Amino acid sequence: MPSNPARSRSAATPQKTPERLLAMVAFPGVTLLDISGPAQVFAELSEIELPSPNYALSYVSSSGGLVPTDVGLMIETVPIASLKPHQVDTLLIPGGPGIWKLRQDEVLLKWIMQTLPKARRIASVCLGAFVLAWTGVLDGRRAATHWRYCPRLQDGFPDIKVDPDAIFVRDGHVWSSAGVSAGIDLALAMIEEDFGHTIALDVARRLVVFLKRPGGQSQFSTVLAAQASDVEGRFSALHAWIIENIASDLRIEKLAAKAGMTPRTFARTYVNRTGMTPANGVEALRVETARLLLESRQVGSVVEIAQRAGFGDDERMRRAFLRHLGVSPSEYRRRFSG
């Protein structure tokens, strides 16, 4: 009996699984990288065989059309009226200097509030956390935003538990991240949740984002923070000397002599200039040194790195890493090494 051609084609062609709609809100003055960073991460999935449905990206605005970003480039958007709240799997709200005028966009805010309880996952990048705060969805939750705006978010919304250091925070189905490039880390973490660790690392490699940062890592280096505070650069030469002699005995008396001060004057001046005690400054530089060694894998064991960075033993280095970075040396190497 001859086979039915139509039936054969139907059996040979599997039904395509519906994609998960990922809606990214756009508004005049949105930060381009807050949108393009996560979008590029998600777009890379089209080149990878996935175990479950991929995302369908949609850029939405109040009335659709071209929306100007903070750098003048335009983003083509669809009107929010074209999407029903229950269709959205993941809602992502970026930040940007135009965020404050968005509060007057009643139509867009209403759509966001209608979508929040229906979406499987909601997220913000940088100042987008303020939009979530206005809706009340962050009340009682932990949240992150750009470190410069953490005090403003905390003061304006005391019911939110603002984490001033975290790159990104996940509290239940609500995600939030720090500024600009942290949106890339947020997107990679979402991919890891949906598709697994291996695929997330594959995407990171494709984008040459070889440092896949955990959310609990500090937004910026302790050493960079100290340098930013030392606006006159009074201790720049001292910091360079410390790095060159990082495995040496770096007690305060030796540092003070190198700086040409008495120990008491040096300790007081160093704190005033950098916001850290000399001991904390040395520890921060040792953490920076150990980070580079862990990333490059030039040294074999964690114990050996602890000695080369001046910690003496790996337990002392582990405690320092937890204080400064929120992760252990072993975990840092696993996530960050080339």
Q: Round the CA-based radius of gyration of the chain to a whole number and report it.
A: 24
Average of per-residue pLDDT across 297-302: 75
Of the candidates 166, 181, 238, 179, the one whose C-alpha atom is nearest the C-alpha of residue 211 is 181
Q: Look at the pTM and tell me if it is higher than 0.75.
A: no
Rounded Cα–Cα distance for residues 131 and 226 (Å): 32
* CB proximity list for 12: less than 8 A, separation 6 or greater: none
Please confirm, yes or no, whether 150 is among the known catalytic residues: no
Helix %, strand %, coil % of the chain (to 5): 50, 15, 35
pLDDT score for 15: 42
Structure tokens at 175: 């995600």
The listed CATH number (1.10.150.20, 1.10.10.60, 3.30.1330.10, 2.120.10.30) that belongs to domain 222-336: 1.10.10.60
Q: Name the helix (H) or strand (E) containing 143.
A: strand 142-143
The listed CATH number (3.40.50.800, 1.10.260.40, 3.40.50.880, 3.30.1130.10) that belongs to domain 17-206: 3.40.50.880
| Active-site hit among 32, 125, 126, 290 | 126
Query: Taking each helix axis from N to C terminus, what angle separates 278-296 and 236-244, rounded to the nearest 10 degrees?
Result: 50
pLDDT score for 158: 96
Average of per-residue pLDDT across 201-216: 66
pLDDT in tens, 80-103: 999 999 999 999 999 999 999 999
**Domain ranges (residues) in the chain:** 17-206, 222-336
pLDDT in tens, 98-132: 999 999 999 999 999 999 999 999 999 999 999 99
3-state class (DSSP) for residue 166: strand
Distances, alpha carbon 55 to alpha carbons 22, 80, 92, in Å: 6, 18, 13
pLDDT score for 295: 75
pLDDT of 314 strictly over 90? yes
Q: Given strand 88-93, what is the order of strands in its sheet?
A: 65-68, 74-79, 55-61, 20-25, 88-93, 121-125, 174-177, 168-171
Query: What percent of the chain is predicted at pLDDT more than 90?
Result: 61
Rounded Cα–Cα distance for residues 30 and 35 (Å): 8
Average per-residue pLDDT in the chain?
86
pLDDT in tens, 240-283: 889 889 999 999 999 999 999 999 999 999 998 888 899 999 99
pLDDT score for 179: 81
pLDDT of 232 strictly over 70? no
